[in-house]
Amino acid sequence: MTTSAAEPSDDTNAPVARLSSLWLLLGSLALLQFGYPVTEAGQGWTIVYLLVYGGVIGYVVLTARADAKRYWPLLALAAAAIVGGTWFAIQQDSGAAQVAMLAGVGMLQLALLIVLAAALIKPPTYAQVSHLLLIAVCAYLLLGGVFGVAASLMELQSPGSFTDPTVASGTVPWQSLFYASYVTLATLGFGDVVPTALWARSLLSLEAVVGTLFVAVVIARLVGVIGARHSREG
């Protein structure tokens, strides 16, 4: 039985063996990173939103199947995200549950970001341009999510680190800070959700720099990989 050279099922050096799993991850991330407004519609919709993380968990499982020993930390972090998300779904008014949910999700997204970044730096031998483009887009979405979690945890730890004109008083919600994260990542600078504490300003400044460099480095890397392959084939 032969295996396609483009997508071998036994390539243990790859973070993903099939395009279908990357599409699953991309679809899940798009719904999660931009569908968070539904959590304002009540507990039921919040639970539906958290269930979308099943797509990310599915990607982790598919990834770990290639080399369970190498990727067991991903499985552990996926379990932590499930526990935190379940706790938050049951007790959405609990500050501790919110911290657990954000921390679990943030650590899982950071781990996935590292795995995908490694694949961009040293692409698997089977990876085609379509693989690399999907990996790059997923990594970009994860980057915004990681900074959004960091900002949310900072606000929970030190209320008043950020201000939002739509919030009359109290802690700025994580939904607003995820929005602020992607606005900063894209260097739009709308200026509505504003970091007021020094560490909050430092965090979003770092995100703006990292986001700009990410796009430049990824484009350069993709051009280099494609050029090298054309040279070898020529």
Q: Is the pLDDT at 181 greater than 50, yes or no?
A: yes
Q: Which residue has the tokens 């690399």?
A: 132
Tell whether the model's pLDDT for residue 188 goes beyond 80.
yes
The answer on pLDDT for 81 being more than 80 is yes
Place of tokens 């932590």: 80
**Domain for residue 14, yes or no?**
no
| 13: in domain | no
Measured CA to CA, the distance from residue 177 to residue 163 in angstroms comes to 10
pTM for this one?
0.88
Quick check: 164 and 183 in contact, CB under 8 A?
no
**Is 205's pLDDT higher than 90?**
yes
**What percent of the chain clears pLDDT 90, i.e. is strictly above it?**
61
121 domain-assigned: yes
pLDDT at site 232: 66
Residue 108 sits in which domain range? 19-233
Q: Could you tell me which of 149, 229, 135, 209 has the C-alpha nearest to residue 181?
A: 149
The Cα-based distances of 89 to 45, 47, 96, 172, 176 in angstroms read 10, 6, 12, 19, 19
Burial category of 85 from C-beta neighbours within 10 Å (exposed 0-12, middle 13-18, buried 19 and up): buried
| Residue 125: pLDDT over 80 | no
Q: What's residue 50's pLDDT?
A: 93
11 in a structural domain: no
Residue 162: φ, ψ to 5°: -130, 155
CATH value at residue 190: 1.10.287.70
Specify if 1 maps to a domain. no
Q: Is residue 89 one of the residues assigned to a domain?
A: yes
DSSP H helical segments within the chain, as ranges? 19-34, 43-51, 53-66, 68-90, 95-121, 129-157, 174-185, 198-233
Residues 134-157 have a mean pLDDT of 96
Tell me whether residue 10 is in a domain. no
Task: Report the number of distinct structural domains present in the chain.
Answer: 1
**Beta-bridge mates of residue 194:** 163
Q: What is the pLDDT of residue 42?
A: 87
